[in-house]
Amino acid sequence: MADSPHIVELNEENFIDVVVENSVNQPVLVDFWADWCGPCKSLMPILEKLAIEYDGAFTLAKLDTEAHPGIAQQLGIRSLPTVKLFKDKQLVDEFMGALPETEVRAFLDKHVSAAEPAEDDEAPQDSTVAQAMALFESGDAEAARTLLQEAQAADPSNADILLALGQICVSTGDLDTASSCLSALPEEAKNGDAANRLTGTIEIAREADTSQSVTSLQAALDADPDNTSIKYQLAIAQALAGDMESGLESLLDIVRKEPGFNEGAPRKKMLALFNVLGADPLVGQYRRKLATALN
């Protein structure tokens, strides 16, 4: 770890003080990593470099999920690297995967105060996105959506607003509006990691049976283990609930046993999940498993 007062190693004893309490004074960027995770090792030097460069504008707090699995489990960390930003004791934004330095800078600049105050009208939009995502994380998706729709009406091609609105629309089941947000993105943003994640999430969500939960689907499958339709819906529900590995494993099992099911939908949904996961190590693992199953 780089030697800097702005970089802190987390553990069970200091997590609340460093991440929650200290976020009242300045933003805290939490990097969830593990030694076996290749993308974590490529992202880590970028985060440390920026923590030093920003010179106290934010604190970089690093959590080794292998050494402290309890914290990672409590926060629902299912893929690595995952980076979460806390301000005023609230989670306000996050990303998964090893983003390039330019994208990490853009992520930070939405939330971290610059050395000089902004003089254009970008700051109100950025602050609106942060406020909306904080509302969303606290469970008020409708208020977050209203806030973003008003911001999007004022600036229809703002990629940050469109992507945030699309994410919230997916969570509320409004997939058509989420797709419209993707279509409205400026060309330079349409192939970015965030757009690819949203595209994959929408594709998965379109297959979901919203009347069923993971628990009810698992119970149905336990009662009828050879029912491929139930297993497929369980895989979709698992993925949408954030359990990507279980979702991928369920889809892979269908590909192995019944590759032609639903015109190859399980394979297509695995590819969609790869987009959602981005640089997560699960992608390489399950790409290899999928190739073996198909060949």
Which residue among the candidates 40, 51, 185, 237 is catalytic per the annotation?
Answer: 40
CATH code for the domain of 48: 3.40.30.10
Distance between CA atoms of residues 145 and 153, nearest Å: 12
Which is nearest to 100 in space by CA: 9, 33, 192, 29?
Answer: 192
Q: How high is the pLDDT of residue 265?
A: 94
Domain end position, chosen among 109, 143, 172: 109
Q: Is residue 117 part of a domain?
A: no
* Rg over CA atoms, the chain: 20
Q: Is 40 a catalytic residue?
A: yes
pLDDT single digits (tens) 178-214? 999 999 999 988 888 888 889 999 999 998 888 889 9
Q: Please check whether residues 140 and 68 belong to one and the same domain.
A: no
Q: How high is the pLDDT of residue 3?
A: 64
Which residue among the candidates 34, 37, 130, 230 is catalytic per the annotation?
Answer: 37
Q: Is residue 115 part of a domain?
A: no
Q: How many domains does the chain have?
A: 3
Q: Is residue 137 part of a domain?
A: yes
Q: Please check whether residues 105 and 130 belong to one and the same domain.
A: no
pLDDT single digits (tens) 253-290? 999 999 899 999 999 999 999 988 887 778 888 999 99
Q: Please check whether residues 286 and 256 belong to one and the same domain.
A: yes
Q: Is residue 114 part of a domain?
A: no
Q: Please check whether residues 187 and 252 belong to one and the same domain.
A: no
Q: Please check whether residues 12 and 103 belong to one and the same domain.
A: yes
Q: Is residue 59 part of a domain?
A: yes
Residue 139 and residue 172 in contact, taking contact as beta carbons nearer than 8 Å = no
CATH code for the domain of 131: 1.25.40.10
Give bridge partners of residue 95 from the DSSP assignment. 83
Cis geometry, peptide bond prior to residue 81 (ω within 30 degrees of 0): yes
Residue 74 and residue 59 in contact, taking contact as beta carbons nearer than 8 Å = no
Average pLDDT over every residue of 81-89: 93
Q: Is residue 235 part of a domain?
A: yes
Q: What is the pTM of this model?
A: 0.55
Q: Is 169 a catalytic residue?
A: no
Q: How high is the pLDDT of residue 121?
A: 43
What range defines the domain where residue 143 resides?
122-205
Indicate the average pLDDT of the chain.
88
User: What confidence tier does 126 reach under pLDDT thresholds 50, 70, 90?
Assistant: low
